[in-house]
Amino acid sequence: MDVLVFGKGLVLGVAIAAPLGPIGALCINRTLERGFWAGVAGGLGTAIADGVYALLAAAGFTALGTFLGWIELPLQIFGGLFLIYLGIRGLRPPAPVSAASIQARGLLSTTMATFLLTIANPATILSFAAIFAGLGLAAGQDGAAGILLVAGVFLGSLGWWFFLSGVVSILRKRLPDGFSAAVGRVSAVILIVFGFVALFHAALALIR
pLDDT in tens, 26-83: 777 778 777 888 888 888 988 998 888 888 777 766 555 555 555 667 767 777 787 7
Could you tell me the pTM of the whole model?
Answer: 0.72
pLDDT in tens, 157-174: 899 889 988 888 887 666
Domain count across the chain: 1
Amino acid at 31: T
Q: Are residues 36 and 164 in contact, defined by beta-carbon separation less than 8 angstroms?
A: no
Phi/psi of residue 102, nearest 5 degrees: -135, 155
Of 94-98, 134-138, 178-182, highest mean pLDDT: 178-182
User: What is the sign, positive or negative, of the torsion defined by CA atoms of 16, 38, 115, 7?
Assistant: positive
Show the domain range for 177. 2-207
- How far, in Å, are 140, 167, 171, 207 from residue 145 at the CA level? 9, 33, 39, 28
